[in-house]
Amino acid sequence: MAKIHIARNGKIIGEHDEHAVAALVALRQILPTDHWWKKGMTRWLPIGSTFNPPETRRPKPDNHLRYTCERCGTRFNEPVEQKSGSVLTELFYWICSPIAGGFYTAGRALSAKKHCPNCDSQQLRDEPW
């Protein structure tokens, strides 16, 4: 395992496994302005030019709301879902036969429509994150 030597302001401040360096940069234990060297290298190199902290995936700030209503412009994450049919009919089918009930429940889930919580419009723009 190759050890990497880290220097700050001309002084060696530690040595780490090569694969741990990027994580330590992310934790600010090692700074991009520090220098690193390992056996076989002819000179020290700046950390920032070699090791970059692993990028964390998260929604962009302007993109954290998934749905946009095309009618009133409201942005939201949880649309109001409206299913066709009724719970009573669903219950009735389930009592008659679990197979019929299963079909009815599946049909309702498939036909569920997403609505804007503000104006009840179905014209929503769905941005996949």
Q: Which stretch binds Zn ion (CB under 5 A): 31-39, 59-67, 86-94, 118-126?
A: 118-126
Query: Tokens 């941005």 belong to which residue?
Result: 127
Rounded least distance, CB 27 to Zn ion, Å: 43
Phi-psi region of 6 (alpha: psi -120 to 50; beta: other; left: phi over 0): beta
**Spatial distance between the Cα atoms of 89 and 104, rounded to a whole number of angstroms:** 9
Rounded least distance, CB 67 to Zn ion, Å: 10
Sign (positive or negative) of CA dihedral 19, 23, 29, 33: positive
Residues 54-93 vs Zn ion: string with x where CB under 5 A?
---------------x-xx-x-------------------
Rounded least distance, CB 64 to Zn ion, Å: 18
Q: Which of residues 12-31 bind Zn ion (CB under 5 A)?
A: none
Task: Report the candidate in 81, 84, 80, 101 with the shortest Cα–Cα distance to residue 92.
Answer: 101
Binding residues for Zn ion (CB under 5 A): 69, 71-72, 74, 116, 118-119, 121
